[in-house]
Structure 1
Amino acid sequence: MNVRTTQPSKMLGSPIQLAILTLIASIHTAHAQEQSPAPAQVKAAGESTAIAEVIVTGTKRATSLQRTPVAITALNAAALDDAHVQTIQDVVNLVPGFSATAQGDHGVITMTMRGVGNDSAKTEYADPEVATFINGIYSPRPEGATSLLFDLEGIEVLRGPQGTLWGRNATVGAVNMQTAKPIIGETSGNIEGGMGNYNRLGVRGAFNVPVSDTMALRFAYINEKHDGYVDYQTLPSISIASQQAAYAASNKGSLVGFQTMNPNLFVANGPKYGAQDQSAARISMLWKPTAAINWNLSYEKYTDRGTPGMNLMQTPRDGQKLWSALIDTAPAVERNSDALRSRLDFAINDGMAMAYIAGYSKFSGSSRYDQDGGAAVPTSFTTGGVHQENNTVSSNYVNYSHELELQSTGKRDVDWLLGLYYAAETNDIRFDIPIMNGTQQGSVGWQGSFIQPKETVESSAAFGQATWNATESLHFTGGLRYTKDTRTNVGGNGYTWNYDASVPQTPLNAHIDPTKPGQGYSPSKPSNDGTYTGDKVTGLARISYDLNKDNMMYASYSTGYKSGGLQDGGRTYGAETLTNYEIGSKHTLFGGTVKINNAFFYEDFKDFQFSAPVTNPDGSHTLATNNAEGAKIAGFETEIAAKLTKDDKIQMSLAYTPKATLGKLIGGSNDYALPKCVADPTISTCVDVTGFTMPHVPKIQAQFQYQHVFHMGDATITPRISVHYESESGLSVFSDHFGAPDKQEAYARTDLGLRYAAGRFYIDAFVRNVSDNAIKTSAQNGFSNGNGTQVWQSQFLAPRTFGFNAGMDF
């Protein structure tokens, strides 16, 4: 299938015209259905199998997707398997207006929805605008979002602020993953193994065990591994005479102190960047002692021994390929997490139910990362190149949460829900950045250690929502949530190299304690000690109208909120808020063989928390967070699913975002070579990005999927194709300043699959990124090639991958 990657308006038609025509056509069809079905519609319904009803819990109730007046994409286990989904970054191809980017030094994924996100939401400093939940329990740190998605019932992606029912940091949306639950009285399971290129090996399985008439257990396991994508380049041969000349040129003609470069400092073998080695196991229990009590409890263990992604040169050096780098820091990742999740449901009577939802998680991790990515080949041991590592020496957090919900049940004039929520978190981290001139043998350029021994977060909330069913067709919904947040930093500080001539100039590492005198480091002043307290009321107002049993429309006003917090020096930054205006419709047409869901939205985003590493006028480095004015964002989304015949199914989605404009913001970042800052005297370099386009927001984002089932006796063969298209999008707030190097051009990515199934056995083959596109997810030009030219580097989505999985159900 050929897909044009230029002139998107010709490919899709005018997006706004398409949006309006889709909505008008679906409403027109709805009225035509209500009067009397056309013969063609009756015939189509008779020859096709209707698309199965999807039940969602986005409103904290089990409701039909097509009867729920919220923009939700629901992906069941079969859809996740078909798309070979393993991480959140795989989910974005299936959801309109959703983006996810990889951030190398922490190896985590940050999310953007409807134009709002935060690339810095990868450490304890910043929270995400898109909240992630597992079984309704908030996952506070981004490492949780990269955990393997295994043995799931499905994923629901809610677009728009979910500040009333879902609460914490669901500023612009929420992702709720539901793990597979045990089934009482059933012995069943599945097992699967797979192989692929880059030496990919994978195995997963699940087993359901009945314990008694009231209890069942479920065991699930997964391990996925493959080699890294980034090959190691060899240090070019540089003559001793050339090294001496370069050294003398920078040392007033003297060769005193000269050393030859040690090629052994450059990595030539071992694990490569971009490797996967992740495992997880889960045990779940369902206990139902009476008809009124239902308790789901699970424990999950997750480990990651893979490697981070790598910043690659957008234009490789002569003779080198894109997926390679001159690397002087071997990659390493070690992450461990434990999670305990519980939900206890109790039916008080026929009209009322209570739920107690609790979670506990513990995380520890470390990583080592080559930040400079070999942007320049050194000319001598201390000239030409830069050696920079970004090392998380240790990172730990403990989080727990409690939520109590009381809600009405059954059919009634007013449906209501009340809730209380409390969450607490404790973090500590040590993060080192050694920067050496030339190579690790060279002199110190700058180096420092950020040590935060204790940071705490507390969040409490009370919320309620009610829907008045004025008639069988007309419904009014209102909701409010009050949230209070408190953050504290205790004993944290940055320790910066003080250029003491009596201390050997060696790269900072985990064996050096920069807090001790005589090590060559001085603490920053003031320290990071401080307290932040803030509160906010968020709300929802919505009206929905059922045109008939298959068609409905809704309009809503909703607000979202993300807490402010603390930054280096104990300084505070304020909360950010988002107000969303939305009009939507949902339609089930042609006897249930076609479903169309639409949404128009306008977002008023205020006090955007912009975080970036910056250099202060005194030469010290810090991570600064400022509240920008915000942004104005408008767009349209549509999702279409159709069963053309009983064996042919298509799914399409479109997100059109013509407006995503930043408000007033003076942006600085050490990841970019920016001009001297005049507008903000607190940082050295900056750009006024007021009026620029928000990053990671293509004007057009479209998805098309098609599959056909061929029957061969008792077996089936199902080929499938998935095409994802995006128009040009920026990679940072500076994209309109830098242009093409800081943008991802329009592209189309194609994935293919072929599944053979016979009884309980199946083989599923896949090819992802068929055309092997180099698709950027981030950019930086903070390093020079040694001749004064800044080198553009990026991280990329994975290259072409292929493989197969074989398994069976029992």
Structure 2
Amino acid sequence: MKRSALRGVRASSPIQLAILVLLTGMNASHAQTTPSDSAPEAPAADGAKMAEVIITATKRSTSLQKTPVAVTALNAASLEDNHVQTLLDVVNLVPGFQATGQGDHGVITMTMRGVGNDSAKTEYADPEVATFVDGIYSPRPEGATSLLFDLDAIEVLRGPQGTLWGRNSTVGAVNMQTAKPVLGQTSGTVEAGAGDYGRLGARGAVNVPLGDTAAMRIAFVHEQHDGYVDYQKLPVPSQESQRAAWLASGGSASAFQPINPNQFVVGGPKYYAQDQSAVRLSLLWQPSRSWKWNVAYERFADRGTLPMNLMQTPRPGQDRWSALIDTAPSLHRNTDSLRSRVEYTVNDAMALSYIAGYSKFDGSSTFDQDGGVSVPTSFATGATYQANNTVSSHYTNYSHELELQSTGKRTLDWQLGLYYAAEENSIRFDIPVFNGTQQGTVAWQGSFIQPKETVKSSAAFGQATWNIGEALHLTGGARYTHDRRTNEGGNGYTWNYDASVPQVPVSPSIDPRLPGQGYSPGVPSNDGVYTGSKVTGLARLAYDIDRNNMVYASVSTGYKSGGLQDGGKTYGAETLTNYEIGTKSSLLGGALQINNALFYEKFKDFQFSAPVTNPDGTRGLATNNAEGAKIYGLESEITARFGRDDRLQMALAYTPHAKLGHLIGGSNDYALPKCAVPGISTCLDVTGNEMPHTPRFSAQVQYQHMFRLADGATLTPRLSTHYETASWLSVFNLGEGDRQKAYTRSDIGLRYAHDKWWVDAFVRNVGDVNVKTSAMNGFGAWVAQYLPPRTVGINAGLEF
């Protein structure tokens, strides 16, 4: 399409606008044919040129606009402006990125370019989007919930990153870069804030030199607010109606007992509360220009509460943000992490790095799974009581990576690496399910005890770029990964309806493994071994049209290991092949940047995980390999400066096709018909359904203007708006309850800064829009978890 033709085209919809952005970017790139014949661009307005952004997406420091990878880089200022605390706050800033807070574990699961797994929240399942801190993999999803504090940047890489970043980066990777100590500098920041829902927060960091060759940095953060969910009082039926309901269900008059209202929670900590703290001690030792060692210890503690399943259609007379709760929320998590990076410059042409990490996690929680959707008619009728309790969860993991790479500008840029990682996990997870109330009769209950699960992964990789000329660059790479998983001594223990044992909910005081407790082990046990290996690769051709415009095309593959499930059964690996064409352009003298990516994904052997009921009445978490999916779409990022005081950023994603291949899916979280497939009680054929958490179009727009006041003070208002079309919340596509309708959600802020101190006020979700992140109807009525309601706050800080 010629430029003259583009002038006559108008975008009548957001989708057409996104397509025109890509065509415009490519047209701008091709307007000048070679670097040698390019005419000089008009200079940007005074102060409008944007600073160069350096990223590590290719595991070497490169300019964002010179790196042929679809990557979003968020620096410390952008993270602060958007009040980023967890990955849930990052997703709106990245095209094609979605994240949800998931129920009974309260972890964050991520979807990118239509690919994700809502069940990647326990030791049984891995995510498709890998998370890293300073290049070190964080294997369990709890790591993604940690407070994001004292960061230099977050880089979100879109598309398979299997060559350089390894397994479980099937569709992308997120790398968080912590702020590092600086030699010879004494400096620091401190900030405190308050807001509604009892919000209190504080954070800070200080850099201290330790002689000429060493430095230390100490950073801390604490954030807390009350829960958003109010408690409903139980509308207790009369004893006459209770007795009648009990007798009508077939119960005997002698066994009747009135409902105990004290079993319903009316006070104490509420669901959706935050109480998180973290501290990080970082050390730098640089004895010479050739040697550098960064090492950091971090402690994270979470004493908040989990999100809550809320009725999508509130009970008459009740607010949406309230629930009839029979399980008090609790959460107790500690994470200790140690990260180390040693860099050695071998000579002018080569550098060696050794990256090592260790982390240990301990946690427990209680969660009201039934959501109080029904009011009991007697102590054992009219409702279902179900609590999902993580009695204990422990994991340790460590990793080692050795990288050797070329340095400087050469005809052939190369890097080689060896990687090894290991995990050891254990968990006890209890699910008591009772008729009516927890004083009622057992509907089903069980305890899943996995005392030892191990994961070992080793890999060798290499990647090289042949700089054929000043403008043409050919890149190829491959990675071989070998995985081994074991389950040792694990089993599910199910209530065996022994009339001689009191019917009480399973709890930590009960050891279901002991005889006489009323539980029987599953047959077979969970013991098993899985081994597998995979080669992933990358081929990419990039062409610098001139110093401000480039175009690239690539084929890349990603891989997620197979594993073990209940009963010791194995499931296979999943793979993704991504075909991509992208452009990166800096226009108007550097005042305008447009980056585009057009992609097509072939997703194979999708690991679909869900809690299921087996035909024999036992329950468990089942994982099956579905056929996969085919997805294609367009992403665009636009950044513009108007003079030195105005900044506009846009992130656009258009995904017109995200369809599942063949899959017969079952899940206890949804009311599904009886299944004709052997081994599954209820199921639904979801072949051809749309992938969840994949809106057809989404857009994020941010604008800020700086007013320059007297004495060097500044006042900066900012507006951020996110819009997306409707999207499904599960693979079942079950109607409006299973769908988030199209919505617009906006934040506003105002920052006053003078010299080295500032005050920042903000309102998040100005319109108080209810946005569902997950949904289910396994208990009858549709429930959902939501993004937070409108919140207001203020922060004040000082640099020194």
TM-score class, shorter: over 0.9
The equivalent residue for 1:712 is 709
**What SS class does the counterpart of residue 22 from structure 1 fall into?**
helix
Alignment of 1:182-331 (within 5 A): 182-251=181-250, 254-331=252-329
The equivalent residue for 1:747 is 743
How many angstroms does 1:24 deviate by? 3.7
Is 1:112 aligned to residue 111 of structure 2? yes
Alpha-carbon displacement from aligned partner over 1:225-280 (angstroms, at most 9, x marks no partner):
0000000000013111111111111126x422111111111000000000000000
How many angstroms does 1:27 deviate by? 2.4
Give, as a single letter, the amino acid of the residue that structure 2 aligns with 1:114.
R
Alpha-carbon displacement from aligned partner over 1:778-800 (angstroms, at most 9, x marks no partner):
000001xxxxxx20000000000
Q: Distance in 2 between matches of 1:652 and 1:574?
A: 39
Q: How many residues align?
A: 790
The equivalent residue for 2:8 is none
Is 1:14 aligned to residue 11 of structure 2? no
Q: Distance in 1 between matches of 2:179 and 2:401?
A: 21
How many angstroms does 1:22 deviate by? 3.0
Q: Aligned match of 1:805 in 772, 783, 795?
A: 795
Give, as a single letter, the amino acid of the residue that structure 2 aligns with 1:658.
P
Alpha-carbon displacement from aligned partner over 1:483-504 (angstroms, at most 9, x marks no partner):
0000000000000000000000
- With over 3 angstroms needed to count, the CA separation of the structure-2 counterparts of 1:628 and 1:286, relative to structure 1, is same
The equivalent residue for 2:395 is 397
TM-score (norm: length of structure 2): 0.97
Is 1:778 aligned to residue 771 of structure 2? no
Give, as a single letter, the amino acid of the residue that structure 2 aligns with 1:684.
S
**Is the 8 Å Cα contact of residues 45 and 642 (structure 2) preserved in structure 1?**
no
Q: Distance in 1 between matches of 2:177 and 2:109?
A: 20
Give, as a single letter, the amino acid of the residue that structure 1 aligns with 2:794.
F
The equivalent residue for 1:730 is 728
Alpha-carbon displacement from aligned partner over 1:688-722 (angstroms, at most 9, x marks no partner):
00010000000101110000000111100000000
The equivalent residue for 1:792 is 782
Q: Distance in 1 between matches of 2:17 and 2:725?
A: 12
How many angstroms does 1:34 deviate by? 8.0
How many angstroms does 1:566 deviate by? 0.2
Alignment of 1:146-185 (within 5 A): 146-185=145-184
**Is the 8 Å Cα contact of residues 35 and 471 (structure 2) preserved in structure 1?**
no
Q: Distance in 2 between matches of 1:268 and 1:236?
A: 12
- With over 3 angstroms needed to count, the CA separation of the structure-2 counterparts of 1:401 and 1:33, relative to structure 1, is closer
**What SS class does the counterpart of residue 246 from structure 1 fall into?**
helix
The equivalent residue for 1:760 is 756
Q: Distance in 1 between matches of 2:39 and 2:746?
A: 37
Q: Aligned match of 1:696 in 689, 693, 706?
A: 693
The equivalent residue for 2:504 is 506
**Is the 8 Å Cα contact of residues 369 and 390 (structure 1) preserved in structure 2?**
yes
Q: Distance in 2 between matches of 1:185 and 1:266?
A: 59
The equivalent residue for 1:3 is none
Structure 2 alignment gaps of length 5 or more: 1-10
- With over 3 angstroms needed to count, the CA separation of the structure-2 counterparts of 1:758 and 1:342, relative to structure 1, is same
**Is the 8 Å Cα contact of residues 157 and 173 (structure 1) preserved in structure 2?**
yes
Is 1:582 aligned to residue 584 of structure 2? no
How many angstroms does 1:12 deviate by? 1.6
**Is the 8 Å Cα contact of residues 772 and 784 (structure 2) preserved in structure 1?**
yes
Q: Aligned match of 2:684 in 662, 665, 687?
A: 687
How many angstroms does 1:646 deviate by? 1.0
**What SS class does the counterpart of residue 27 from structure 1 fall into?**
helix
- With over 3 angstroms needed to count, the CA separation of the structure-2 counterparts of 1:31 and 1:703, relative to structure 1, is farther
**Is the 8 Å Cα contact of residues 449 and 496 (structure 1) preserved in structure 2?**
yes
**What SS class does the counterpart of residue 46 from structure 1 fall into?**
coil
How many angstroms does 1:42 deviate by? 2.9
- With over 3 angstroms needed to count, the CA separation of the structure-2 counterparts of 1:170 and 1:718, relative to structure 1, is same
Alpha-carbon displacement from aligned partner over 1:761-784 (angstroms, at most 9, x marks no partner):
00011111000011000000001x
In terms of mean alpha carbon deviation, does 240-249 or 382-391 score higher? Answer: 240-249
Is 1:625 aligned to residue 615 of structure 2? no
**Is the 8 Å Cα contact of residues 15 and 656 (structure 1) preserved in structure 2?**
no
Q: Aligned match of 2:343 in 345, 353, 368?
A: 345
Alpha-carbon displacement from aligned partner over 1:162-218 (angstroms, at most 9, x marks no partner):
000011211100000000000010000000000001000000010000001000000
Is 1:597 aligned to residue 595 of structure 2? yes
Alpha-carbon displacement from aligned partner over 1:387-438 (angstroms, at most 9, x marks no partner):
1000000000000000000000011110000000000000000000000110
**What SS class does the counterpart of residue 42 from structure 2 fall into?**
helix
**What SS class does the counterpart of residue 241 from structure 1 fall into?**
helix
Structure 1 alignment gaps of length 5 or more: 1-8, 784-789
**What SS class does the counterpart of residue 216 from structure 2 fall into?**
strand
How many angstroms does 1:740 deviate by? 1.1
Alignment of 1:535-684 (within 5 A): 535-678=533-676, 680-684=677-681
Q: Distance in 2 between matches of 1:340 and 1:643?
A: 40
Give, as a single letter, the amino acid of the residue that structure 2 aligns with 1:304.
D
How many angstroms does 1:89 deviate by? 0.5
Give, as a single letter, the amino acid of the residue that structure 1 aligns with 2:25.
L
**Is the 8 Å Cα contact of residues 223 and 279 (structure 1) preserved in structure 2?**
yes
**Is the 8 Å Cα contact of residues 131 and 144 (structure 2) preserved in structure 1?**
yes
**What SS class does the counterpart of residue 569 from structure 1 fall into?**
helix
**Is the 8 Å Cα contact of residues 780 and 792 (structure 1) preserved in structure 2?**
yes
Give, as a single letter, the amino acid of the residue that structure 1 aligns with 2:81.
D
**Is the 8 Å Cα contact of residues 111 and 130 (structure 1) preserved in structure 2?**
yes
TM-score (norm: length of structure 1): 0.96
How many angstroms does 1:37 deviate by? 6.0
The equivalent residue for 2:377 is 379
**What SS class does the counterpart of residue 20 from structure 2 fall into?**
helix
Give, as a single letter, the amino acid of the residue that structure 1 aligns with 2:42.
V
Q: Distance in 1 between matches of 2:125 and 2:289?
A: 43
**What SS class does the counterpart of residue 275 from structure 2 fall into?**
strand
Q: Distance in 1 between matches of 2:162 and 2:732?
A: 30
**What SS class does the counterpart of residue 372 from structure 2 fall into?**
coil
Q: Distance in 2 between matches of 1:33 and 1:314?
A: 58
Q: Distance in 2 between matches of 1:809 and 1:442?
A: 59
Is 1:61 aligned to residue 60 of structure 2? yes
**Is the 8 Å Cα contact of residues 30 and 587 (structure 1) preserved in structure 2?**
no
**Is the 8 Å Cα contact of residues 197 and 801 (structure 1) preserved in structure 2?**
yes
**What SS class does the counterpart of residue 387 from structure 2 fall into?**
strand
**What SS class does the counterpart of residue 718 from structure 2 fall into?**
strand
**What SS class does the counterpart of residue 105 from structure 1 fall into?**
helix
**What SS class does the counterpart of residue 45 from structure 2 fall into?**
helix
Alignment of 1:130-141 (within 5 A): 130-141=129-140
The equivalent residue for 2:4 is none
Q: CA RMSD in A?
A: 1.4
The equivalent residue for 1:6 is none
Q: Distance in 2 between matches of 1:272 and 1:500?
A: 36
The equivalent residue for 1:5 is none
Give, as a single letter, the amino acid of the residue that structure 1 aligns with 2:342.
L
How many angstroms does 1:365 deviate by? 0.2
Q: Distance in 2 between matches of 1:375 and 1:666?
A: 28
Give, as a single letter, the amino acid of the residue that structure 2 aligns with 1:806.
A
**Is the 8 Å Cα contact of residues 293 and 341 (structure 2) preserved in structure 1?**
yes
**Is the 8 Å Cα contact of residues 19 and 636 (structure 1) preserved in structure 2?**
no
The equivalent residue for 1:459 is 457
- With over 3 angstroms needed to count, the CA separation of the structure-2 counterparts of 1:10 and 1:503, relative to structure 1, is farther
**Is the 8 Å Cα contact of residues 30 and 550 (structure 1) preserved in structure 2?**
no
Give, as a single letter, the amino acid of the residue that structure 2 aligns with 1:73.
T
Q: Distance in 2 between matches of 1:347 and 1:655?
A: 41
Give, as a single letter, the amino acid of the residue that structure 2 aligns with 1:626.
N
The equivalent residue for 2:470 is 472
